Amino acid sequence: MRQGAEHTDESRAGKSGGFSHGKMWIGRHSADQDVLVFDPEVSDPDATNLSFYSLSQFRTRTFPRAVAEQKIAEITEKKARADAEAQYKERTARKAVHETEKSAAREERTGRHREHAIEAHRRYVTNLGIEYAGVKDTTGQEIRPRRSRCGICGIAVDNFVGAACLACNDLLCSCGACNCGTKTRTRARAKTLSKGDQ
């Protein structure tokens, strides 16, 4: 085989007659090696932009015809093609499993981050010389924080951690800091004491 020739088990879309045969066409993108399925029952084979189903990304990918013919090589090896066809037939079930696994992984990451933030909050409060009162769960609640930005790390405060300090009743920053020890907290406490003396 001369240098630069294509592999025998794959050929470029343009050289194999393209996507106009009215049959399912399966290829591999030369850049990311994604296996792509062109289904004429779903996509128009005469369109300027051709739509393929990505077996690895579980979604439709669209390419200009010229790009598809240049970059996507047809898979002709029988076993590889059969495997791809089987995966395509089960695409709905496979996508559901994929989404479930993604959701579980995301929840696990969020849970770890929350644990780390709460532990950092314990250290933060203790270092201020304040008795640690714990936190309350605020997951999923729409709560407006008492401070717009964290006085320690400077980022915008929201309910990402899903916990509020029981001492100051303000949301925890992802760095673990709360409103305890801040000027806002000090002023609020002084105002409360002042009212109590009257």
Contact of 39 with 21, CB cutoff 8 Å: no
In a domain, 188, yes or no: yes
Which of 55, 89, 123 terminates a domain? The answer is 89
Chain segment 37-57, per-residue pLDDT in tens: 999 998 888 889 999 999 999
In a domain, 100, yes or no: no
Within 10 angstroms of residue 192's Cβ, the number of other Cβ atoms is: 9
Q: How far is CA 154 from the centre of its chain?
A: 25
Note whether 72 and 147 are same-domain residues: no
Cα 26 to Cα 13: distance, rounded to the nearest angstrom: 10
Per-residue pLDDT, 143: 87
Cα 118 to Cα 165: distance, rounded to the nearest angstrom: 9
Note whether 122 and 192 are same-domain residues: yes
Question: Which domain does 59 fall in, by range?
Answer: 10-89
Note whether 84 and 117 are same-domain residues: no
Note whether 156 and 76 are same-domain residues: no
Contact of 49 with 63, CB cutoff 8 Å: yes
191 pLDDT above the threshold of 50: no
Task: Provide, rounded to the nearest whole percent, the portion of the chain with pLDDT above 70.
Answer: 81
Per-residue pLDDT, 183: 59
Cα 106 to Cα 133: distance, rounded to the nearest angstrom: 29
Number of domains present in the structure of the chain: 2
Note whether 84 and 49 are same-domain residues: yes
Task: Provide, rounded to the nearest whole percent, the portion of the chain with pLDDT above 90.
Answer: 64
Note whether 121 and 193 are same-domain residues: yes
pTM: 0.53
DSSP state of 16: T
Note whether 132 and 74 are same-domain residues: no
Chain segment 118-158, per-residue pLDDT in tens: 999 999 999 999 999 999 999 889 888 888 899 899 999 99
Note whether 54 and 132 are same-domain residues: no
Note whether 74 and 117 are same-domain residues: no
